[in-house]
Amino acid sequence: MKTLILSLAASTALATGASAQMMDLEKDELTFGFIKLTDMAPLAVAYEQGYFLDEGLFVTLEAQANWKVLLDGVIDGQLDGAHMLAGQPLAATIGFGTEAHIITPFSMDLNGNGITVSNEVWEQMKPNIPTNADGLPEHPISAEALAPVVEDYKNQGKPFNMGMVFPVSTHNYELRYWLAAGGLHPGYYSPENISGQINADVLLSVTPPPQMPATLEAGTIYGYCVGEPWNQQAVFKGIGVPVITDYELWKNNPEKVFGITAEFAEENPNTTLAVVKALIRAAMWLDENDNANREEAVEILSRSEYVGADYEVIANSMTGTFEYEKGDVREVPDFNVFFRYNATYPFYSDAVWYLTQMRRWGQISEAKPDSWYDEVAKSVYKPEIYLEAARILVDEGRADAADFPWDSDGYKAPTPAADIIDGIPYDGRTPNAYLDSLPIGLKGEEVIVGNEVQG
């Protein structure tokens, strides 16, 4: 746990060369939760660089045991806000799992995840993967290379188990997307069966992020999808091989968000703006000057109160490279993106994508019109709060107006086919047409009845 020591906000403001417009804060002592992943970095940086203090906020950052504990802490008020899976505010708001109205005024990052398999599975996959001129595997690696391995396990009567971090996590949906793009069925959910394993070729189950490498090493799972540093940890430990990053799966895909209850935002509007201001500044610092501050960020994250992994493990992905097999280090400058490409703006189209994946796999059990997706997105993602905070930062001289999408309607331009592994474009404005375009998954009026797709 890291507790902010009270000191003079004025001295920090002088040190930064600009002064904040100090607002009348409804609440100035706050506790935020996080999970030990590198993409919690905006919270750590806002704390360590004094950005929270500049806003008159006295913040405590507390690591949480898992995503459910974190969500419950925000809902019951033990936490004022948290680093969250993007699917958590959406799922809570529509009543999938724990029901509560959670909003996000700030998106924390793009990309940052990977899919890792055990050494044994990797050796079985390799004959199915073409090599480049250097004799190294060609990337991106399709799950088609995994399909014969899964079939072999099935013939031996062995279930093929893989791990993801939470039922409504990006990792669950990315792993499912990768598997389905390679012709492997990751299974459905139904109101009666929330295992997510109905008709599955690959059985997915929940493992908390820091426990992924140990679970893989124990042989309980044969692979997993997780955020950093837990893919690179498998490489350093010599127990697994990352086969694909989510940047290769879907270029500049949305990842974590900062979540608060709608009630907190309503009761503490100025405090909410102050928090978002500090987080925007942290994201800017993380990406400025071509990631010039990343080594300092890695040092911060490696501390036990934050991620607590070795500096070298975190640096392996955080500083613009990614190691697949040992020694196979490749340049991936956008593996972690915190500010550029409007990474911090809470786009409705990002929310809609998560909702389409919930519908695709049966977490949303019945068909919804396109208008429903738009309404839910707008009830959870709050770009108006984000832009108000950004405008104050610009007026203070702390941010450049050109860095913010002032005229956006909240929807990104469609993601082109070339940026997604299966070559299927995504347009958040037409969610049902998008669902219809995906070969595997629920579409139209289809529902799961028992173990069958009907409708």
Give the whole-angstrom CA distance, residue 174 versus residue 225: 8
The count of residues in the chain is 455
Give all strands (DSSP E) within 228-346, no chain letters.
240-245, 257-261, 321-323, 329-331, 336-337
Instruction: Say if residues 162 and 223 touch (Cβ distance below 8 Å).
Output: yes
135 in the same domain as 58: no
Number of neighbouring beta carbons within 10 Å of residue 327: 8
Instruction: Say if residues 274 and 25 touch (Cβ distance below 8 Å).
Output: yes
On the question of a cis peptide bond just before residue 140, with omega within 30 degrees of 0, the verdict is yes
Give the whole-angstrom CA distance, residue 182 versus residue 148: 11
Instruction: Say if residues 260 and 19 touch (Cβ distance below 8 Å).
Output: no
Give the whole-angstrom CA distance, residue 192 versus residue 448: 10
Report residue 327 CA to chain centroid gap: 27
Give the whole-angstrom CA distance, residue 359 versus residue 248: 24
pLDDT tens digits along 269-291 = 999 999 999 999 999 999 999 99
9-23, 72-86, 133-147, 310-324: least confident range: 9-23
193 in the same domain as 319: no
pLDDT tens digits along 381-440 = 999 999 999 999 999 999 999 999 999 999 999 999 999 999 999 999 999 999 999 999
pLDDT band at 98 (very low <50, low <70, confident <90, very high): confident
Q: What is the pLDDT of residue 14?
A: 34
Residue 376 lies in a domain: yes
Residue 266 lies in a domain: yes
User: How many CA atoms lie within 13 Å of 291's alpha carbon, on the beta-carbon side?
Assistant: 16
pLDDT at 9 over 50: no
Q: Who contacts 68 (Cβ-Cβ below 8 Å, separation ≥6)?
A: 98, 166
In DSSP terms, 106 is beta-bridged to 258
Q: What is the pLDDT of residue 10?
A: 36
Domain range holding 47?
2-111+254-323+334-347+360-403
pLDDT tens digits along 19-54 = 566 789 999 999 999 999 999 999 999 999 999 999
290 in the same domain as 279: yes
Kindly report the pTM of this predicted structure. 0.95
Instruction: Say if residues 53 and 81 touch (Cβ distance below 8 Å).
Output: no
Residue 413 lies in a domain: no
Q: What is the pLDDT of residue 12?
A: 39
Number of domains in the chain: 2
302 in the same domain as 391: yes
Instruction: Average the pLDDT over 131-142 and give the result.
Output: 95
Q: What is the pLDDT of residue 22?
A: 78
Residue 420 lies in a domain: no
Name the token pair of 314. Answer: 């975190």
Residue 170 lies in a domain: yes
pLDDT at 3 over 70: no
pLDDT at 4 over 80: no
219 in the same domain as 307: no
Residue 277 lies in a domain: yes
307 in the same domain as 430: no
Tell me the pLDDT of the chain averaged across its residues: 94
The domain that holds 161 is classified in CATH as: 3.40.190.10
160 in the same domain as 210: yes
Name the token pair of 395. Answer: 């007026």
pLDDT at 62 over 70: yes
